[in-house]
Chains A and B, each alone.
Chain A
Amino acid sequence: MTTLDTQTAEPAAPAATGRTPRDRRRGGRRSRTTGHVPLGRRLRRDRALLLMTVPALVLVVVFNYVPILGNVVAFQDYDPYVSANGVTAMLESPWVGLAQFERVFSDPGFWHAVENTLVLFLLQLVLFFPVPIALALLVNSLLRPRLRAFVQAVLYLPHFFSWVLVVTVFQQILGGAGIIAQTLRQHGHEGFDLMTDPAVFKFLVTAEGVWKDAGWGVIVFLAALAAVNQDLYEAAAMDGAGRGRRMWHVTLPALRPVIALLLVLRVGDALTVGFEQLLLQRDAVGPGAAEVLDTFVWWTGLRSQDFSYAAAAGLVKGVVGLVLVLSANKTAHLMGEQGVYRK
C-alpha cells in the first residue's frame, strides 16, 4: 500500500456506502463530478488539492475582499488620527450618510477628471486600437521566419519596460531638455517642450501607450491570422481575387471576432486609463490636462488626506466601472464570444 493520503480511508468506504467501484477511481474526471459522494469523503479525497489553493485564496481574500469593507469610510467623516489603527479609527469616526457623495458630485474637479478620462479613452480607441491590427498584418506578411521573429521581439520589447522608464525615455527625446529640442536650439530654431504642454498632452500619452504596448497587442491578432484556413486564400485566388480583395474578403472577416471582442472589453475598461502613466506626468503638466479618475482619488485621498472623500469618489468609479465591465462581458457573450470568463 502506498502512503497516498486519501487512499487510507478508501477501502472500507464503498462497502459502507454502497457506491459503485467507479467512485474509487480517484483522479479520473468522472468520479470527481459524481455528486452523490458524501461531502466528508470528498473533502478527504480532495484534501491535497484544496490545501494547495489555500495560500492564493487567503491572499486574494485579504487584499481584494477585505478592503471592500473599508469602503465604509466613504459614508463617514473618517479621521485616521482619532485612534491607534485603521480599524478602530473607522469604528470611532462619525457617520455622515451620503454627504461625501454629495460633495463629490458637486465638485467641478471630479467632473473635470471624468471628462479627461473619457477624452483619453476615446483618443486611445481611435489612435491606439487600430495600430496592433495594422502591425500584425505587416508582420504576418513577412515570410522569413528569423526576420519575423526579430521584428516581433523588437516590437514587444517596450511592453516589459516600466512606465517610469517609458516616461523618462519620452522626456529625454521630446522634453524641453530632450534631444530634439536641443538639436533645434543648436541650429538656431526655437526649442519646445512637449512634456509640459497641456495642449498636446493627451496625444503624447496616447503615443506613449502605442510605443509601449502596440507591439504586444500584435500577438493576439497574429494568432488569429495563423488560424485562418489557407485554402480560403487559395480558393479566392483561383476565383481571381487579387491581394487587396483577399485581404478584404478573407483576412478581415477572420479577424472580426477578435477585434469585436477586444473592442468590447476595452469599452468595459473605459474608466481606467493609465493610472501609473498619468500619475508620473501629473506634476510636469499639471492636473488640468493629466487628472483622470484614478489620479483624482490618489490626490484627494493620499496627498490631501481626505480619505472619506477620495473613497467616495473611488466607490463611484468602481461601481460605474463594474457595470461597464459586466455589460461589456455580457455583450461579448451575446456576440458568441467567451468574454473574460468561460460561460
Chain B
Amino acid sequence: MTRPNGSRWAAPARPVWEEPPGRAGLAAKGTVLVLACLAVLFPLWIVVVTSLSSKKTITETGGLVVVPRDLTFLAYQELLSGGQVTRAAVVSVLVTLTGTLFSMTVSVLCAYGLSRPGSTGHRFILLTLMATMFFGAGLIPTYLLVQTLGLTDTYLALILPSAVSVFNILVLRGFFMGVSPELVDSARIDGAGDLRILWQIVMPLSRAVIAVITLFYAVGYWSAWFNASIYLSDQNMMPLQNVLIQLAQKQEIPVGLGQAVKAGDLSGLAVQMAVMVLALLPVAVLSPFVQKHFRKGVLTGAVKG
C-alpha cells in the first residue's frame, strides 16, 4: 500500500461530543485489527512467495519461504506450458465464463419478469422459486436425476444443476423494483417493449447490483469442485480446483510435470503453491473492484429478503 498523500488518509473531524481515544484503547484496537489483517494476508504472502522460489531457496529454508530471495517463474512456466494444469485452467476459465453468462442471462430476465408486482402469475412463480430456499431435494435424488438426463461426463453437469440461485434473483428483483416506475412508464409510452426497457433503462440503472451478482456467480463457478468430482470421471476434463485437491491432499504431482520436478530445479512445493495462486488470482483481483457495491447488493438480499 503506498500512501498517495497525507490528506486522502486524514481522518474526518471527530464528532464534538466524542472524546478522543485513549492511548491504551487505540493500541488495543490497532493490535486486533492489524492481527486480523495479517491473519488473512500472511498465508497468502507465503503462498505467493513460495510459488516464486527456486528449489534451492525452499530446501535451504526447510520448507515454506517467508522472505523472498532469487525469485523465479519456473513453476508457472512449467504449469502453463501444456499438460494437466494448463488444461484444467482452460476448463475452469471456460466453464466460469459460459456459466456466468448463462446464469446472468437467465437470472436478469427472471428478475425483471418478476419485478412488477401484480402481473399475471407473479405470486405463483415467486413462491415456486422461493420455496426452494427452504428445502433441497437431497444429494442422492439429484445425482440420479443428472445421471438419468445423461449429463454425467459432460460440462453441462457443471453448469445446469446450479445455474440459478434464487437468492441472486431476489436481490436483482429488489433492485429492479426500485427503478422509478415513472421512468419505465414513460419508456413504454415512447413505445419500448419489456426487453428494451430492461436492456436500456433498468440494467444501466442497476449496474452496481449486476456487478455484485455477476461476481457471485463467477466465484461460484470458479470455486466449484464437488459437481466435477461426482459427475465427471475423465481426469482430462477436471477443472482447476479438482486438480488442486489431488495435488494438495494426495500429494500427487500433476501429469506431465513429474519429469521437471525430478530433474531438479523445480520444487514440488513451488508447483503446488503456483497452482494455488492460479486458483485464487482471478478472485483476489476482481473482488476489490466490486467491493464498494457489496453493502448495497448483499444487504437488500441478505437482510430484507
Contact = CB atoms under 8 A, between A and B. Distances in A.
Given A60-B166, A311-B141, A340 B160 contact: no
A246 to B, nearest CB: 9
Interface stretch (B67-75, B79-87, B123-131, B255-263): B123-131
A32 B294 contact: no
Contacts of A151: 33, 36-37
Interface in B2-57: 8-12, 14-15, 17-19, 25, 29, 32-33, 36-37, 39-41, 43-44, 46-47
Contacts of B119: 32, 42, 46, 49-50
B110 A318 contact: no
B265 interface: no
Interface in A112-154: 135, 138-139, 141-147, 149-154
A169 B305 contact: no
B64 interface: yes
B194 interface: yes
A158 B37 contact: no
A126 B203 CA distance: 42
Given A53-B110, A146-B9, A338-B305, A43 B120 contact: yes
B206 interface: no
Contacts of B184: 27
Interface string B103-121: 0011101101110111111
Contacts of A15: none
Nearest to B145: A67
Contacts of B66: 179
B140 A66 contact: no
A138 B32 contact: yes
Count class of interface residues, chain A: 35 or more
Contacts of A234: 15, 17
A276 B47 contact: no
B1 A4 contact: no
B138 A315 contact: yes
A158 B283 CA distance: 9
Interface string A287-312: 00000001001100110000100110
Contact of A33 (B11, B118, B304): B118
B295 A223 contact: yes
Interface string B231-250: 00000000001001100110
B144 A4 contact: no
B63 A177 contact: yes
A68 interface: yes
A264 B17 CA distance: 36
B123 to A, nearest CB: 11
Given A141-B29, A233-B17, A156 B287 contact: yes
Contacts of A65: 132, 137
Nearest to A137: B29
Nearest to A223: B299
B161 interface: yes
Contacts of A154: 37, 40-41
A47 to B, nearest CB: 9
Interface in B177-227: 181, 184-185, 188, 191-195, 198, 215, 219, 222-226
A55 interface: yes
A162 interface: yes
Contact of B249 (A52, A177, A283): A283
B160 A171 contact: no
A311 B272 CA distance: 37
A169 B47 contact: yes
B106 A55 contact: yes
A55 B62 CA distance: 55
Contacts of A51: 113
A275 B295 CA distance: 27
Nearest to A217: B302
A237 interface: yes
A339 B129 contact: no
B91 to A, nearest CB: 15
Contact of A29 (B116, B133, B136): B116
Nearest 3 CB-CB pairings of A with B:
A70-B141, A162-B223, A67-B137
Interface of B: 1, 8-12, 14-15, 17-19, 25, 29, 32-33, 36-37, 39-41, 43-44, 46-47, 62-64, 66, 105-107, 109-110, 112-114, 116-122, 125, 128-130, 132-145, 147-148, 160-164, 166, 169, 181, 184-185, 188, 191-195, 198, 215, 219, 222-226, 230, 241, 244-245, 248-249, 272-273, 276, 279-280, 283-284, 287-288, 291-292, 294-295, 298-299, 302-305
Given A70-B142, A86-B145, A318-B138, 16 more contacts: A53-B109, A56-B107, A59-B163, A63-B161, A71-B137, A73-B144, A138-B32, A155-B37, A171-B248, A172-B43, A173-B46, A179-B66, A230-B15, A280-B249, A298-B139, A314-B139
23 contacts: A3-B191, A27-B188, A49-B194, A52-B113, A57-B128, A67-B138, A70-B137, A70-B142, A143-B14, A156-B291, A157-B288, A160-B219, A160-B283, A163-B223, A169-B47, A179-B64, A182-B63, A183-B62, A220-B298, A301-B143, A315-B138, A322-B134, A339-B305
